[in-house]
């Protein structure tokens, strides 16, 4: 699998790097041990940040800056990692979905990066392009309904949008029956070093979803 980054994204964010992880996985409904890790990290975030300071985290701030450069209001279209951290600081916690999604959320709040998690078997074609959404893009955000992705950084496969740093698409979402993961770490600026984030991700994937057959690359 190849990730192509279009020139408009590179011009707005010259330092962009995307970490790609693909793996065979065994998903499940819930992990008590993973939940404890999420609760522990959530407490650290809650004690470290006031609500107004979450968007100053380097990875979140860089993604918000990209949105602004592309003409999208980052306060109206929250970066997913920012939205998760805001829930934590407000005492609302984060939704428990399934082990694979929960694991990705853990990595996102720990690293600050917006992370796309997809069922790799649902992605069409042998490449994904990171471009800028248009008014013609039809995009159903997971749990959000139709999302206006015009001006958002948008990943597209051969037939349409699959995800953005704000929301992933229903068509390619991870489900309990997912057996092949495609994970994309959006580093528009570095907070936790991208290589360290990938290493942490691989460790968690092995531990909680018995991940094997890894394909790892940075674009």
pLDDT in tens, 72-95: 999 999 999 999 999 999 999 999
Q: In degrees, to the nearest 5, what angle opens at C-alpha 137 toward C-alphas 134 and 139?
A: 125
Task: Using pLDDT thresholds of 50, 70 and 90, give the confidence band for residue 140.
Answer: very high
Sort strands 145-146 and 114-119 into parallel, antiparallel or unpaired: unpaired
Domain covering 2-218 assigned CATH 3.50.40.10 in the classification: yes
CB atoms within 10 A of CB 44: 12
Give the phi and the psi of residue 65 in degrees, each rounded to 5.
-65, -40
Which residue ranges make up each domain of the chain?
2-218
CA distances from 58 to 65, 71, 74 (A): 10, 20, 15
Compute φ and ψ for 24, nearest 5 degrees.
-85, 135
Read off the pLDDT of residues 156-189 as tens digits, 9 standing for 90 and up. Answer: 999 999 999 999 999 999 999 999 999 999 999 9
């Amino acid at each position: 699998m190849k990730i192509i980054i279009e020139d408009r994204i590179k011009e707005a964010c010259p330092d962009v790097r995307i970490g790609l992880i693909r793996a065979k996985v065994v998903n499940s409904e819930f992990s008590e041990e993973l939940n404890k890790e999420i609760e522990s990290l959530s407490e650290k975030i809650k004690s470290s940040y006031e609500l107004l300071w979450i968007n100053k985290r380097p990875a979140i701030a860089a993604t918000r800056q990209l949105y602004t450069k592309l003409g999208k209001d980052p306060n109206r279209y929250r970066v997913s990692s920012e939205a998760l951290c805001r829930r934590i600081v407000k005492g609302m916690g984060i939704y428990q979905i399934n082990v694979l999604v929960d694991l990705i959320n853990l990595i996102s709040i720990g690293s600050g990066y917006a992370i796309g998690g997809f069922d790799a078997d649902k992605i069409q074609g042998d490449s994904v392009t990171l471009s800028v959404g248009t008014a013609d893009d039809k995009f159903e955000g997971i749990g959000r309904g139709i999302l206006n992705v015009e001006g958002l950084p948008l990943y597209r496969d051969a037939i349409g949008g699959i995800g953005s740093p704000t929301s992933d698409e229903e068509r390619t979402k991870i489900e309990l029956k997912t057996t092949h993961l495609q994970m994309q770490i959006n580093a528009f600026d570095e907070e936790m070093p991208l290589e360290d984030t990938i290493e942490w991700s691989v460790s968690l994937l092995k531990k909680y979803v018995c991940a094997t057959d890894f394909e790892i690359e940075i674009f």
